[in-house]
Amino acid sequence: MASKPKVRPVHEVRLGRIKAAIWENETQNGTRHNVTVTRIYKDGEQWKDSTSFGRDDLPLVAKVADQAHSWIFEQATNSGE
């Protein structure tokens, strides 16, 4: 059985433990981007991620979201959208 190729984000923004992954989707109306924001943490020797954020994480969530928005806006500007 053939495995599916792993889909990777087109760009990532990371500040400390907070990461925004930017995904590209081709649609009939052109390229669109979606963003997932996660908090990474280590459980023993294994790295994991969570979509739950504590009080002290929130300023970084705002910053990575802002940087992701800027990156997406730049891509749209560069492609003439």
Residue 3 counted as domain residue: no
Where do runs of H (alpha helix) occur along the chain? 58-79
Residue 22 lies in a domain: yes
The range of the structural domain enclosing residue 35 comes to 11-79
Task: Examine residue 70 and state whether it is found in any structural domain, yes or no.
Answer: yes
Percent residues over pLDDT 90 in the chain: 79
Does residue 44 form part of some domain? yes
Asked if residue 46 is part of any domain, the answer here is yes
Q: Does residue 5 lie in a domain region?
A: no
2 inside domain: no
Q: Which residue from 17, 9, 16 is spatially nearest to 68, judged by alpha carbons?
A: 9
Reported as a single tens digit per residue, the pLDDT across 54-75 is 999 999 999 999 999 999 999 8
* Whether pLDDT at 46 is above 70: yes
User: How many folded domains does the chain comprise?
Assistant: 1
49-60 CB burial, b ≥16 within 10 A, e <16: eeeeeeeebeeb
